[in-house]
A and B are shown apart, each in its own frame.
Chain A
């Protein structure tokens, strides 16, 4: 296994290096992009003006030694003039550049027309690069001082904010990234500066600016049309070497579309599962495990609201409509102090704001799902986004063989997203978002399961000053599940429900203290309301007695403070303190729970850095489950007098290297420990149990692992490959002899999978054709199996192995997809793209679960269930217009 990994790594590295030796070829690039290539090839400074109105594209093949000359010739053919001054090239559309001020410039009554044009140009918002912009009034200029420059980065095509753009000043080595609103701010010295804006999937923008005083500069960026041969270092790579944060992965929606998935549906959670350190219990299962943590230890946020069940249809689809999602970040290790409440990870997902320029939408009709998405402006300062999905997938249940339990099953889900953003003025914007989903399914005619998610939130974002932003968010989240059982004899029919809801209020501040310190602080409050379970008669003939467990309420609050400190070019530190308060509405005392977040980065070289970090986390809410996967019957419980909050820490460290060809190689290791995770006693009754506390046991867990990842974001071949070795164990903390799981010894956690290899790759043969591949290998998950049959008290029983002593067979799945984009002409009314793919190319019958059946007088017989037991080809046709 190890040799295979090393061989694949060597082949990838060799192919990346080979690309850099070939001739330079550009296809269908804009004038501005061509100038950028010229700059990269020649190393000279070159500026362009007037290209923003040029719709032409340029193509060129040339040897490196003559490339610049031929490229400039192409530009001249396109109507540009090329001038040189002091070794700097100026390329201008439709006019020539004046290399010096006119002789009469300082004579007030003789201002030439050219100077007026220049002045007009400086008042425009920066929509393109290679222009010099002045920030503030020149009369306020004071040399040797510092000023805060801020602004928004927006997409030129639709006006939506662009997230995760790196903003870097090469003179001072100052750096920042745009936040979820496309907002950035930097503390720069007054005078001349050069800002570089770069990030996927936008074309880089370089700006010369003159800072006179504090001020704003909004940037508009265009989507990048990359050359295939140029492999460049991505903004993400650069950002990774600047920040002290470990274990952070940013997920872009465009990249999700390239990952092959079952039934051709782009899925954000499937993209998360393709990352190292993130695993699921099994195919088509709900929830995921991050670095050995259990599924309830992940905080999943959607527009600041908590989503308790992030899946539809047994995990085949995620709860998030990718048409509506803007971006997502998953924090596996260095979790910022503003997040808390879960001890393993945070998945923060944001919805789009909607096109600011025109109304558009998408409509999809498929054999499994249909979806509708609309977004656009509502007036000058308001935009909306709306999305809905529904499914009608009963036909696929009928394909399941009769001997399984699910042949007669029915299943259905729908979800709706709605969002409005309204900009009151330059400083204040209101965002209102809502999400609702419903799942309903049954395996047989007598029991129906259903569950709903509901999230609503309102956020006011204000720029209190150029240095300080504030967000106030209020919202309501709820998750409820229901089981409707129609027994053969209706006297036994019942309806079981449980629900968890919360109201939250968050106050968040971000303050740019100075060029070295960016601070964040705030307060979060949460009011939980838990209805642990209720049973009612299913119908009029039912004799089931109605019962309801008492509601449980609790308050959770936290104040946090964090600082990101750029010490110097080599050192960066991030630290934070979060002090949590928790009070359940019983006799339990108020708990005060401090948490610490620390991480450090040392740049060994500009492209090689080492990081270390440690986090302590606490969690007051537990999911009660005695099944391997999230089930609709699972309930949540809160810490109380008898159930202690979970707490844990994670220490992680890593080495990160970016090759000159733009390949990121990282090796990250971690060690985690936690206490007070809940497991259940043998034979525990978890449903409608008023004495549930007595059936739960506390466990401690430990997990450790190492993740090796190779990632390439640009060029013909892009994607990532990773190998993870990880272990996760649990041990019961208390209980008498009768209750000790595995006799009190450490046992494998249900998600312990030592070996995991993932590959998510895309190879562009040309601009039209690309091949995507997805490989997922992991060790089978642990299971408990019956191992013997015995008689006791006149009855036959099964004896089981130690908890999780065995494993289901290893999991291996390979998916391939061919992407065809027939035309790239900008003026086409309709652009098509076609994806032909096969999910599970090898047709491997990966085991999802193992079960045993035992008929009277027979020996038990074991069966494994495979969800996708054969190849699943699919064809997807997209139309863009």
Chain B
């Protein structure tokens, strides 16, 4: 056999692109549906179970309104029916003088479980009419863990930005798995103190109406829930979490600009519950990298007993330990640099009768001359003040967010338990 002495003077001529990516459509059947059931059975408090439907990847959903009832059955036969049935749960949106009340598209079934026996097991049944019926596994109610500590510290990041680091410590006699969630609420103001109000109907800013308001229009309040975080101490010698990270707010975050509250709920959970949420977190990172894990669904502890489609959800159970922490700004918060520049760019415009989106003349204090510019959505905030007092027909203009705090989120309604920001005990 002859041997090749000199081999392969290969000239490889590759065309423009050897490999490529192209859009891909898996052609998912239109009847693919997922019914989502989310919630926790609490002891010592009311329980809320939220029902919703998944959205298809093309952005559509077959959601037409879920009509559902539910009941909790105890192993001793007692039954607790849900105390709320409906297609939505109203909440007060911002600008309720214009927008009608909005109903949460995800209906909530509320159960009065304040006095249920934590030593017994319960099973959740849901009848969603045309959407089918569902039944959970037997739920074991864990007693609440104990929150040992909830605190924040002031830290400085590698980029030199300061932040507040919130941590919680807790222990449990029942399980090494902890479920941590928290609700944030905060008071904030608009960027400048004005007597103006934003009217979404006309997209204008004008003098505010005071009726029925206790607070100036530049003070708002809002809240938000956070995703559930599960933490395991299974590898530890005790069922304890120490200084578990909850949240981080940097010095430019509006939440800590006036008064901030965090209500932390810690619940003990089963290993299955922990693994379910942990898996959700892991598979939420979708990427087609060659070496990323193949994802797959995990079945929860609630199952469909009639109807078509899949069901997603894991019903938690147990009592929550709750702790609350307030933070009052005493100089830590800094106005965002980008917005500061906006204020410095406030210009002095002649007020026109026309709505301020046209070209206008404006006075630029430095170098002290009148110029022309487009308002670019800015609105007049207040009359311009000169050395000799108000300058006639001349206003300081700025972004409408400077005027009405609702445009930064939240609304004028403060809950009854919201403290006075001037309370010295905070």
Contact = CB atoms under 8 A, between A and B. Distances in A.
A724 interface: no
A860 B9 contact: no
Given A874-B10, A879-B5, A790 B34 contact: yes
A870 B1 CA distance: 36
Listed from nearest, the 9 A-B pairs whose CB atoms lie closest are A851-B288, A683-B279, A788-B54, A790-B54, A364-B8, A631-B291, A795-B227, A366-B10, A862-B24
Contacts of B5: 360-362, 879-881
B117 interface: no
Interface string A799-822: 111110010000000000000000
B226 A794 contact: yes
Interface string A868-881: 11111111111111
A682 B297 CA distance: 7
B283 interface: yes
B8 A877 contact: yes
B392 interface: no
Contacts of A847: 24
Contact of B292 (A263, A265, A355, A627): A627
B54 A401 contact: no
A853 B227 CA distance: 21
B54 A399 contact: no
Contacts of A872: 12-15, 18
A737 B3 contact: no
A800 B295 contact: yes
Interface in B42-95: 52-59
Interface string B386-425: 0000000000000000000000000000000000000000
B34 A738 contact: no
Interface string A767-804: 00000000000000001111111111111111111110
Nearest to A491: B158
Interface in B12-38: 12-26, 28, 32-34, 36, 38
- The residue in B9, B28, B288, B299 that gathers the most chain A C-beta atoms within 10 A of its C-beta is B288
Contacts of A401: 17, 19-21
Given A790-B52, A799-B312, A859-B57, A864 B3 contact: no
Interface in B319-346: none
Contact of A852 (B22, B277, B286): B286
B6 A629 contact: no
A608 interface: no
Contact of A737 (B32, B290, B299): B299
27 contacts: A157-B1, A157-B2, A223-B1, A362-B5, A366-B8, A366-B9, A366-B10, A366-B12, A399-B16, A400-B19, A403-B21, A404-B20, A680-B293, A738-B301, A743-B299, A786-B57, A787-B56, A790-B34, A792-B36, A799-B297, A859-B57, A865-B20, A873-B15, A874-B13, A879-B7, A879-B9, A880-B3
Contact of B38 (A158, A686, A793, A870): A793
A632 B286 CA distance: 20
Contacts of A784: 294-296
A534 interface: no
A379 B63 CA distance: 85
Given A852-B287, A881-B5, 9 more contacts: A371-B7, A404-B21, A626-B294, A627-B290, A783-B294, A853-B287, A864-B21, A865-B19, A869-B17
A440 to B, nearest CB: 15
B201 interface: no
Contacts of A850: 24, 26, 288
A363 interface: yes
B284 interface: yes
Contacts of A801: 26, 28
A114 interface: no
B276 interface: yes
B175 interface: no
Interface in B98-135: 106
A560 B415 CA distance: 81
B376 interface: no
B6 A879 contact: yes
Given A403-B21, A628-B294, A790 B55 contact: yes
B163 to A, nearest CB: 15
A179 B313 CA distance: 62
A877 B137 CA distance: 70
Interface in B203-238: 225-228
B289 to A, nearest CB: 6
- The residue in A786, A789, A792, A872 that gathers the most chain B C-beta atoms within 10 A of its C-beta is A792
A360 B7 CA distance: 12
A360 B3 contact: yes
Given A683-B283, A794-B227, A367 B12 contact: yes
A659 interface: no
B277 A793 contact: yes
B4 interface: yes
Contacts of B57: 786-789, 859-860, 862
B92 to A, nearest CB: 19
Contacts of B20: 401, 404, 845, 865-866, 869
- The residue in B28, B59, B226, B276 that gathers the most chain A C-beta atoms within 10 A of its C-beta is B28
Contact of A870 (B17, B55, B296, B312): B17
A633 interface: yes
A328 to B, nearest CB: 16
B6 A363 contact: yes
Contacts of A792: 36, 38, 280, 312-313
Nearest to A365: B9
A798 B287 contact: no
Contacts of A800: 283, 295-297
Interface magnitude class on chain A: 35 or more
Contact of B294 (A263, A627, A797): A627
Contacts of A737: 137, 299, 301
A680 to B, nearest CB: 8
B55 to A, nearest CB: 5
Nearest to B303: A737
B333 to A, nearest CB: 25
B22 A787 contact: no
A367 B11 contact: yes
A785 B8 contact: no
B310 interface: yes
Nearest to B229: A793
A854 to B, nearest CB: 6
B357 to A, nearest CB: 27
A875 B11 contact: yes
A866 B52 contact: no
Contacts of A791: 36, 38, 52, 106
B54 A799 contact: yes
Contacts of B243: none
B23 A355 contact: no
B3 A158 contact: yes
A863 B10 contact: no
Given A631-B290, A797-B280, A866 B22 contact: yes
Interface string B165-197: 000000000000000010000000000000000
Contacts of B16: 399, 870
Nearest to A372: B7
- The residue in B158, B276, B289 that gathers the most chain A C-beta atoms within 10 A of its C-beta is B289
A662 to B, nearest CB: 22
Contact of A362 (B7, B25, B32, B106): B7
Interface in A20-73: none
A399 B227 contact: no
Contacts of B36: 790-792
A371 B8 CA distance: 9
Contact of A738 (B2, B3, B275): B275
Nearest to A253: B1
A39 to B, nearest CB: 24
Interface in A345-388: 355, 360-368, 371
Given A784-B296, A864-B22, A629 B290 contact: yes
